Chains A and B, each alone.
Chain A
């Protein structure tokens, strides 16, 4: 499959997936969805990819669904928005969340609608200082999808989640950082380099273990204390069997730099 609306490459363990419909602020149409799905399939299948970096081209990050693609004709039958969520958005955020490797998102500009929530399904989110997050759904009678209603209260608390979701106001990257919605806000000119630096660093780390960390932290949001302790035991058992754990310990003992392979 050749890509028209995204850029995709794999280099030194880092898969770079960049949304590329800059004229439309990288809003999703069917084709772009299919391409993102295909790229993520390649990531899942590849043994070489140890980190995924998601970003976008141009001045925006992603404006969510391309409404021109929706074609809601006044008077016509109501569209089934659940269908496109089931087909595209839910599998997308599921995949980002379930990938057993770190997923970094570099939000380079305005992130609106589903575009504001897709980063929240990633593990480490960097944003350019001029970027912003807008839960635009409420302005057109919809609810935050792509996991927005799940992530927002967990990240910023219910009071702020409700305000963001019901007012649909622009949240600056700085504010997003202060509220704990994202990991870090960086200067515009430095975003891409910072994100790539972070991705390259993680790609040399024990990524199998990082995947287990991700899995256990996700589970903690739903688990009881007791369930979580059991899961920690199980995942630590898996981690303890990894090559990287052996390498980590022996490098530590020998006071040398560990060479991790992600397994």
Chain B
């Protein structure tokens, strides 16, 4: 069993809760490794349709583990094992929803931005305070943040280290919904359940196509989308989905 996470499965949704309350869920290498491992497990488990990732009421994750980082010199950083864990999290192909309460700072903010959908409690705070320590974001903070909130706000956050509120994050497009903090996880699970009832292959290709939109030029993105769309024509779930719609009944997908 993992040490730094709690893992619960509700029907087709896996809820992963970061659990290092004493350190506001600071992301140690161990935690990242366990998270990557759990996501890999979810990826290969056909009964899991979507994953919700959350922290505590007080902190989603307040950053990386500074003691650990301080111990690494240049060579240590070059060989940083965390990079592999981040890769695994990035490559997770099923829908990943982050339910963020309290602090999502530094690596915690970067982890939240790895999720496909962000739901935030009203008192959540997002920030990249690395600059205050003489360093900078190193797990996507300068890239995903800029794509999510635009240049000026991303620059302001990364260069000043000042966090933004949940409401501001909603306005800027970093999160899609805010809820009372007591309901953040519940709302994320609700969305995840709904998503998990859809055809798995369609979800996977749709997620991939949406992520391509961030990296590719429009023509290439459209080409990818068309290929993915065409691929789905070869799946049993597409036939089932269309037939169920025509017959006005609920579709029952098999993932093939």
Q: Check B179 for interface membership: any CB of A closer than 8 A.
A: yes
Q: Which residues of A contact B187 (CB under 8 A)?
A: 234
Total number of A residues with any Cβ neighbor in B under 8 Å: 6
* CB-contacts of A212-263 with B (<8 A): 215, 231, 234-235, 237-238
Chain B interface size, under 10 / 10 to 19 / 20 to 34 / 35 or more: under 10
Give the number of residue pairs across the A-B interface with Cβ within 8 Å: 11
With a CB–CB cut-off of 8 A, which chain A residues contact B183? 234, 237-238
Nearest chain-B residue to A216 (Cβ)?
B180
Query: Could you say which residues of chain A place their CB within 8 Å of the CB of B182?
Result: 238
Task: Identify the closest chain B residue to A212 (Cβ).
Answer: B180
Chain A residues contacting B179 (CB-CB under 8 Å) are 234
Contact with A along B158-180 (1 / 0, CB 8 A): 00000000000000000000011
Chain B neighbourhood of A234, CB < 8 A: 179-180, 183, 187
User: How many Å lie between the Cα of A237 and that of B185 in the bound state?
Assistant: 14
| Residues from 170 to 209 in B contacting A, C-beta threshold 8 Å | 179-180, 182-183, 187
Q: How far is the CA of A238 from the CA of B186 in the complex (A)?
A: 11
Give the residue name and chain of the A residue nearest to B183 (CB).
Answer: A234
On chain B, the residues within 8 Å of A231 by CB distance are 180
How far is the CB of A26 from the nearest CB of chain B, in Å? 32
Smallest beta-carbon distance A124→chain B, Å:
23
Chain B residue at smallest Cβ distance from A222: B167
Least distance between A98 CB and chain B CB atoms (Å): 10
A234 CA / B179 CA spacing, docked (Å): 8
A237 contacts across to B, CB distance below 8 A: 183
**What is the CA–CA distance of A237 and B182 in the complex, to the nearest angstrom?**
10
For B180, the chain A residues whose CB sits under 8 A away are 215, 231, 234-235, 238
Q: Which residue of B lies closest to A215 (CB)?
A: B180
Say how far B99's CB is from chain A's closest CB, in angstroms: 14
Min CB distance, B124 to chain A, in Å? 15
A241 to B182, CA, bound (A): 11
In angstroms, Cα B179 to Cα A231, docked, is 8
In the complex, the chain A residue whose C-beta lies closest to that of B187 is: A234
CA–CA, A234 and B180, complex, Å: 7
B168 to chain A, nearest CB (A): 13
**Complex Cα gap A262–B187 (Å):** 25
Q: Cβ of A238: which chain B residues have Cβ within 8 Å of it?
A: 180, 182-183
* B177 CB, min distance to chain A CBs, angstroms: 9
The smallest beta-carbon distance between B7 and chain A, in angstroms, is 25
Within 8 A of B (CB), among A49-98: none
Of the listed residues A215, A234, A235, A238, the one surrounded by the most CB atoms of chain B closer than 10 A to its CB is: A234
Q: Give me 11 A-to-B residue pairs in the complex whose CB atoms sit less than 8 angstroms apart, sorted by A's number.
A: A215-B180, A231-B180, A234-B179, A234-B180, A234-B183, A234-B187, A235-B180, A237-B183, A238-B180, A238-B182, A238-B183
Can you add 5 more A-B contacts, CB < 8 Å, to A234-B183, A235-B180, A238-B182? A215-B180, A234-B179, A234-B180, A238-B180, A238-B183
